[in-house]
Amino acid sequence: MHITIRLQFAKHVVSFSDIATAIGQAGGDIVGIDVISSSKTHTVRDITVSVLDSKHADVVVDTLRKTAGVKVIHVSDRTFLMHIGGKIEVKSKIPIKTRDDLARVYTPGVARVCTAIAEDPTKAYSLTIKRNTVAVISDGTAVLGLGDIGPYAAMPVMEGKAMLFKQLAGVDAFPICLDTKDTDEIVQIVKAIAPAFGGINLEDIAAPRCFEIEERLKQELDIPVFHDDQHGTAVVLLAGLLNALKIVDKKIEEIKVVLTGIGAAGIACTKMLLAAGVKNIIGVDRQGAIHRGVQYDNPYWNEYAQLTNPENISGSLSDVIVGADVFIGVSAPGILKVEDVKNMAKDPIVFAMANPVPEIDPELAEPYVRVMATGRSDYPNQINNVLCFPGIFRGALDCRAIEINEEMKLAAAQAIASVVTDEELSETYIIPSVFNNKVAERVREAVMKAAYKTGVARKDDMMFR
Ligand SMILES: NC(=O)C1=CN([C@@H]2O[C@H](COP(=O)(O)OP(=O)(O)OC[C@H]3O[C@@H](n4cnc5c(N)ncnc54)[C@H](O)[C@@H]3O)[C@@H](O)[C@H]2O)C=CC1
Ligand SMILES: CC(=O)C(=O)O
Ligand SMILES: [Mg+2]
């Protein structure tokens, strides 16, 4: 990583070459220098230094703090710099240059437009932003794998999701973090803000509350409501698995899958895999394998036990992973050991998808796996819901779908998988890159086709009839 250190140094006490030497001795590598101000006695400079990690950054900064004549003003890393002031803004489509423009975009002209919508509310789709907007709603209770860090801390992720919606699919998404964990209140708030939006993307709301929130909103709203951590993740996981199974030449009906983290993502991934034909899937949470014969406090786990684990095996992750063809992690960092991978069946497939730190370090797993994937951007095979949510909402908005149903999700998974051709497919390329511009377009088309086929599209479109 790179950090930028703003420091002031007294010219008569220390020279820049002394500072460069100190940084070098602490193991830092200077990659940029900017002079911010200079007087006869002092200079202020921004020095950008390449360091190994945040601990190493502390060592470099401490060294400078201890150097006589040097005052460290502040330290920022490039990631923080990208977040300063937030990452998105609202822009007008048309400038207001004259009084005439003003009278048309605002009062009095706007009143006629308002009246037209009041007379026919469906006109909200043609005369407001509704046809292109998605609310990204979080309560900050399951932010990535960081847990319940609250609504303020959740904002950078939601802003990031909004950026991806826009860049990858042209959707205008609004990050909305709610300072409440009350299910009824969240449902009420989302219902109340729905008029401005064409869709609702629920994000990083912890299980099991997220299931009720989504179900109730789906029933009460006539726009698509989609919990990204459940369905977006499940769609991309299935896409990756379909392609990985081609490499190891195994049939989906015959594989044994072990999945850790029976929360939002885990339950949805399991349901998607069962629908796709997986017969033997065992879910593992903190207490071990979910099995029948136990009354869990979490009602979703009791249902889960009925749907999975055909041999009703109990035990720890290390116990149940023996002989598994596929490991899927949507749980916590570092819980899969190298020994566990060694005990899997031939040609193991390991999808360690916890963010930001996966269930096993890919470098440790690599020698023993046939196909390795993570949720991260800095390793090959990124299985991340970002491959799904922009395109699936683009399709749903464009056909004005009332919901995103199972057929649309399956179509999205197949569309994502299809971007990687048989000639291109390899152990390190089972899933297209986030930057592959075919992904969102292919997902959009497949999703629209499925929406028209299943009768949930409201917009008349001859192409899809
Ligand atoms: N790659 C991707 O696209 C996505 C990755 N994720 C990742 O999956 C993880 C879970 O996310 P959600 O399902 O939204 O959270 P969640 O809070 O709904 O569920 C997490 C589950 O993992 C379980 N868990 C925690 N520590 C565990 C351990 N040591 N062993 C077994 N189970 C454990 C929890 O008890 C809980 O049931 C996070 O790390 C998140 O970043 C989630 C969504 C998408
Ligand atoms: C990718 C994502 O949505 C998550 O880790 O929560
Ligand atoms: Mg998420």
Do 41 and 71 meet the contact criterion of CB atoms below 8 Å apart? Answer: no
The response to whether 254 counts as a known ligand-binding position is no
Give yes or no for residue 80 having a pLDDT over 90.
no
- From the CA of 214, how far away is ligand 2's center (Å)? 17
Query: CB atoms < 10 A from the CB of 461, how many?
Result: 13
- Under 8 Å between Cβ of 313 and 320: yes
Give me the amino acid identity at 397: L
Ligand closest to Cα of 316 equals: 1
Q: Which CATH architecture has domain 2-83?
A: 2-Layer Sandwich (3.30)
Average pLDDT over the chain, rounded to whole? 96
* Domain-wise residue ranges, the chain: 2-83, 99-223, 228-465
The three state secondary structure string of 218-280 is HHHCCCCEEEHHHHHHHHHHHHHHHHHHHHHCCCHHHCEEEEECCCHHHHHHHHHHHHCCCCE
Q: Give pLDDT tens digits for 322-357.
A: 999 999 999 999 999 999 999 999 999 999 999 889
Can you tell me the distance from the alpha carbon of 193 to that of 306, in angstroms, rounded to the nearest whole number?
37
Residues framing ligand 1 (Cβ under 6 A): 142, 144-145, 206-207, 229, 233, 260-266, 284-286, 330-332, 335, 353-355, 375, 383-385
Which numbered atom of ligand 1 lies nearest the CA of 375?
1
Query: Is 384 marked within a binding site?
Result: yes
- Read off the pLDDT of residues 352-409 as tens digits, 9 standing for 90 and up: 999 889 999 999 999 999 999 999 888 899 999 999 999 999 999 999 999 999 999 9
Q: Tell me the Cα Rg of the chain.
A: 26
* Mutation test residue for ligand 1: of 226, 330, 336, 381, the one with most atoms within 8 Å of CB: 330
**227 phi and psi, to 5 degrees?**
-85, 105
How many angstroms separate the Cα of 444 from the Cα of each of 46, 293, 411, 412?
A: 45, 43, 9, 8
Q: Residue 145's pLDDT is what?
A: 87
Q: Considering the domain 99-223 in this protein, what is its CATH number?
A: 3.40.50.10380
Residue type, 198: G
* Structure confidence at residue 28 as a pLDDT band (50, 70, 90): very high
Residue whose CA lies nearest to ligand 2 atom number 3: 229
- 106 included as an active-site residue: yes
Question: Which pLDDT tens digit goes with each residue over 280-325?
Answer: 999 999 999 999 999 999 999 999 999 999 999 999 999 999 999 9
Say if ligand 2 is within 6 A of residue 204 CB: yes
Rounded mean pLDDT, 200-229: 97
* Prediction pTM value: 0.90
309 is in an annotated binding site: no
172 annotated ligand binder: no
Q: Can you tell me the ipTM of this complex?
A: 0.98
- Condensed to tens digits (0 to 9), the pLDDT of residues 184-200 reads 999 999 999 999 999 99
Angle at 233 between CA 231 and CA 239, to 5 degrees: 105
Q: CATH number of the domain at 228-465, out of 3.40.50.620, 3.40.50.300, 3.40.470.10, 3.40.50.720?
A: 3.40.50.720
Average pLDDT over residues 87-114: 96
Domains 2-83 and 228-465 in one fold: no
Closest Cα to atom 4 of ligand 2: 144
Residue for token pair 């100190």: 22
For the question of residue 379 being annotated catalytic, the response is: no
Q: Whose CA is nearest to atom 17 of ligand 1?
A: 206
229 is in an annotated binding site: yes
Give Cα separations from 239 to 195, 211, 233, 431 (angstroms): 33, 23, 10, 7
CA of 99 to the centre of ligand 2 (A): 46
Atom of ligand 1 nearest to the CA of 229: 43
Q: Is the pLDDT of residue 462 over 80?
A: no
Q: What percent of the chain has pLDDT over 70?
A: 99
pLDDT digits (tens, 9 = 90+) for 131-156: 999 999 999 999 998 999 999 999 99
89-93, 418-422, 456-460: the lowest-pLDDT one: 456-460
How many whole angstroms from 353 Cα to the centroid of ligand 2?
A: 9
> Mind listing the pLDDT tens digit for each residue in 42-75?
999 999 999 998 899 999 999 999 999 999 999 9
**Is pLDDT of 182 > 90?**
yes
Task: Supply the pLDDT for residue 354.
Answer: 94
Residue 465 pLDDT grade (very low, low, confident, very high; cuts 50, 70, 90): low
Residue 329, H or E segment: strand 326-329
Ligand 2: which atom is nearest the Cα of residue 143? 6
What does the alpha-carbon distance between residue 149 and residue 158 come to, in Å, rounded to a whole number? 13
pLDDT digits (tens, 9 = 90+) for 226-268: 999 999 999 999 999 999 999 999 999 999 999 999 999 999 9
